[in-house]
Amino acid sequence: MDTSHHLLLLLMLLHYEAGFSHSCLKILPDSNSRIALEVGKNFTATCHLLEGSAHTSDNIEWTMRDIPIPKQFYHKINETAVSVTVNISSDMRGWLRCKAKESQPDCYIYGISLHPGYPPLKPTNLSCVAVQEGEDMSPNLNCSWDSGSRNPLFDTTYTVYAYITILNKTYTADCKQHHLDRYCVVNLERFPHHVRLKVWVEVKNVLGSERSEQLQNYSEYFVKTNPPLNIQVLTEDNFSTSLMVTWEPPIQEYVLTLSYAIRYRKASSDVWVEVPENLTKVYTFRLQSLEPYTQYVVQIRCIGESPSRYWSNWSAGVTGHTSEDKPASAPDLWRIIRSTSNNRNVTLVWKAPVKANGKILGYYLNICHDYVMIESHNITADNRLMYLMKLPPGKNASIELTAYNSVGASPKATLFIPRSGEDLPGVKNMSWSVRDEKLQVQWTAVTSLPVGLRLSEYLLEWVTVPQLQAGWQRVSSKVHNTTLNGDLKKFQRYNISVYPIYKYQQAGRPVTRPAYVQQGIPEKGPNVTQTKSKKNSAELTWNEIPLERQRGFITNYTIFYAIGSTKQWKSVTVNPNVQSYLLMDLASETDYVVNIMASTVAGSVKGIDYNFKTLKYGDGEVEVIVVVVCLSFLFLTVFIIMFCLRKREVIKKLLWPQVPDPSDSSIAHWSPDFPIKEEDLVLIEADSSRQNLRPDATTSNVAITLRSEKNVIRHAAAQINT
């Protein structure tokens, strides 16, 4: 057994005698509190069986957080002592125990509590600042540093030391903080001006301590004042590109001499411009090279003269407005032409100058036809920026437009409209697409220009349909695709046109395409306005959805129809340019219901139901029936007439039989033996009287009926000779 083991056993025995003899096992080192250990280091603990134990060191077992420690980490010292060596990790926080195996009494188990962690890191990047309070500097020195991102896992105390050389006095501040906190405030009782300071920070925990580098400098180095006071931005008349800025220092000069920095920006912009020079002992400055009639925001900050380190915060922004100047750019002039049969209706439209340099009061408009002045107008800015004129097809027009404000007039904008039929070359292959809810337009450049014709730029025009409200923008002649910068609305149809613009602002032939920024579902579906029903078909007619309600390009129409009582729908799809359709193979004399659905790429919408009924008879069927009946009646009539003509004698005899006149007959002399008595004569029927007999008649049939008291004698077919 070596000397170190004997020394360890001696220390354990002395430790036991100090008051821990009630346990059967002991661990060295021992502590009533957690034992602090550095992560990554090896730690050795020894378990000892007290005298009188029935066990040996072979029965000792080590556990860490109730997990057995492998035997290879054990070291047997003697028959009553066994040590264990482990490498400390951050997750080994808990109980390290030793026990005698198969031992029931509690005296045969013992443990110590381990607390792994890290020693503190050396603080770096120490900085301290004293801010202004009232008219003097605060005595509180606010210090911060970088303590590293590693969590020490122990309570850590930071102490800031501030040593004033001339007073030979040190001020301290203790800050017990979380590992991520890295600031502390030391109170100097009163801020020391114009003296040297030494500042450093020490950090401590149970595993050690570290000290930062010293921060040494004059007290002005640590000062941060308030921003300058009473800042004013003054407009200078007759100087449209400058502003005068004035301010007051935040602290008296005898306390601290300050330098100043100024920055400014347009009120409509977020981009600041900083004046390059630092201003010392001055309280006014003229900002120059500004834009006329523009609102600016100005801020100022200050810093103590060297060796000061800290700038004050920027002051609150103070606004100022430069004075007016005459417009520096021309109005943007354009025209919209609507041709009629014998004239051209021209609408002149324009935008105010980009560099108006003031409030535009109005516009001077001059119009020439065939280079002869015919109109001159002064149009106030309160009116709409447009003018209507008529231009005969055989005349050209030259237009000049000038804007003016209270200072002067702008450069002239010119526009030339040629005679009808004198169009200059236009672009080719114009198309559009949508990207990021903006319309992008592409086109092919103008080629093969006539000699002497120079391309100046391209103009892109967008016109709402059907409202005909126009917007436009211009791009360089080298640009062949661009994004329209207008406020184009969703679901609104626009006619997009590209014009090449030549010298003298002559516009070439446009190429126009309809477009949408975003398409939607139509507001309403088409309604059937008329049907022409037949026996087995029906022709449907519907109106086109108004353009302002289409909300997209109609891709097709779908016709749904069904027998009214069944609602078993059938459908037919037709092209978007179709407004009528003939439904075939319908049942005759049947009620039908129909509706039409309009579709765009965004969706579809149906119109209202429309009811109609097919006819019982088809075209010509009624006419055929009438003709057949009439012809049949005609044929029957002709047949009867012909038959009557052919059998006229028979018919005559049947209808009008000949009856002789009884007074002229010889019946009265027929039999003397049997004279006819007047009372026995009841009825004599004769076909006709003698005067009605035909001249060539020689005989007549006479029927005589006699009645007497006892009998009736009928004489028939008597032959009478005349």
Is the pLDDT at 601 greater than 50? The verdict is yes
Angle at 186 between CA 181 and CA 187, to 5 degrees: 145
Q: Is 370 helix (H, G, I), strand (E, B) or coil?
A: coil
pLDDT in tens, 209-225: 989 999 999 988 999 99
pLDDT at residue 105, rounded to an integer:
55
Cα separation, 404 vs 694, whole angstroms: 127
pLDDT at residue 515, rounded to an integer:
95
Query: Of the ranges 123-127, 231-235, 251-255, which one carries the lowest mean pLDDT score?
Result: 251-255
Q: CB under 8 Å to 294, separation ≥6 — which residues?
A: 266, 267, 321, 322
Bridge partners (DSSP) listed for residue 572:
559
pLDDT in tens, 291-336: 999 999 999 999 988 778 899 999 999 999 999 999 999 999 999 9
Angle between helices 621-646 and 648-655 (to 10 degrees): 80
- Which sign, positive or negative, has the C-alpha torsion 66, 72, 76, 77? negative
Average pLDDT, the chain: 83
If you average pLDDT over residues 444-471, what whole number do you get?
A: 87
Return the higher-pLDDT residue of 1 and 257: 257
Domain segments of the chain as ranges: 3-117, 124-223, 225-321, 332-417, 428-515, 528-613, 621-654, 657-715
pLDDT in tens, 683-719: 333 344 433 434 443 333 433 333 433 343 344 334 3
pLDDT in tens, 348-359: 999 999 999 999
Cα separation, 212 vs 412, whole angstroms: 71
pLDDT at residue 17, rounded to an integer:
38
Query: Of the ranges 129-138, 536-545, 673-682, which one carries the lowest mean pLDDT score?
Result: 673-682
Superfamily name with CATH number, domain 124-223: Immunoglobulins (2.60.40.10)
Q: 225-321 adopts what CATH topology? A: Immunoglobulin-like (2.60.40)
Cα separation, 609 vs 594, whole angstroms: 6
Angle at 662 between CA 659 and CA 704, to 5 degrees: 75
Query: What distance separates the 2 farthest-apart alpha carbons in the chain?
Result: 209
Query: Of the ranges 5-19, 100-114, 672-686, which one carries the lowest mean pLDDT score?
Result: 5-19
Q: Which residues of 116-154 are buried (b: 16+ CB within 10 A; e: fewer)?
A: bbbbbbbbeebebbbbbeeeebbebbbbbbebbeeebbb
Are 165 and 219 in contact by the 8 Å Cβ rule? The answer is no
Cα separation, 697 vs 686, whole angstroms: 15
pLDDT at residue 382, rounded to an integer:
84
pLDDT at residue 178, rounded to an integer:
61
- The kind and range of the H/E element at 702 are strand 702-707
If you average pLDDT over residues 469-478, what whole number do you get?
A: 92
State which CATH number among 3.40.50.720, 2.60.40.10, 3.90.78.10, 1.10.340.30 fits the domain covering 428-515. Answer: 2.60.40.10
Cα separation, 558 vs 597, whole angstroms: 5
Classify domain 528-613 at the CATH class level.
mainly beta
Cα separation, 480 vs 485, whole angstroms: 15
State which CATH number among 2.60.40.10, 2.40.50.140, 2.130.10.30, 3.40.220.10 fits the domain covering 332-417. Answer: 2.60.40.10
Q: Predicted confidence band at 129 (pLDDT cuts at 50, 70, 90)?
A: very high
Cα separation, 510 vs 427, whole angstroms: 7
Return the higher-pLDDT residue of 585 and 364: 364
pLDDT in tens, 648-694: 777 777 777 776 666 666 655 555 554 554 444 443 333 444 334 34
pLDDT at residue 22, rounded to an integer:
47
pLDDT at residue 691, rounded to an integer:
39
What is the full DSSP assignment across 537-596? -EEEEEPPPPHHHH-S---EEEEEEEETTT---EEEEE-TT--EEEE-SPPTT-EEEEEE
If you average pLDDT over residues 160-170, what whole number do you get?
A: 91
If you average pLDDT over residues 258-271, what whole number do you get?
A: 94
If you average pLDDT over residues 96-112, what whole number do you get?
A: 74
Other Cβ atoms less than 10 A from the Cβ of 312: the count is: 23
What is the full DSSP assignment across 237-253? TT-TT-EEEEEE-SS-T
CATH, domain range 3-117: 2.60.40.10
Is the pLDDT at 591 greater than 80? The verdict is yes
Bridge partners (DSSP) listed for residue 200:
161
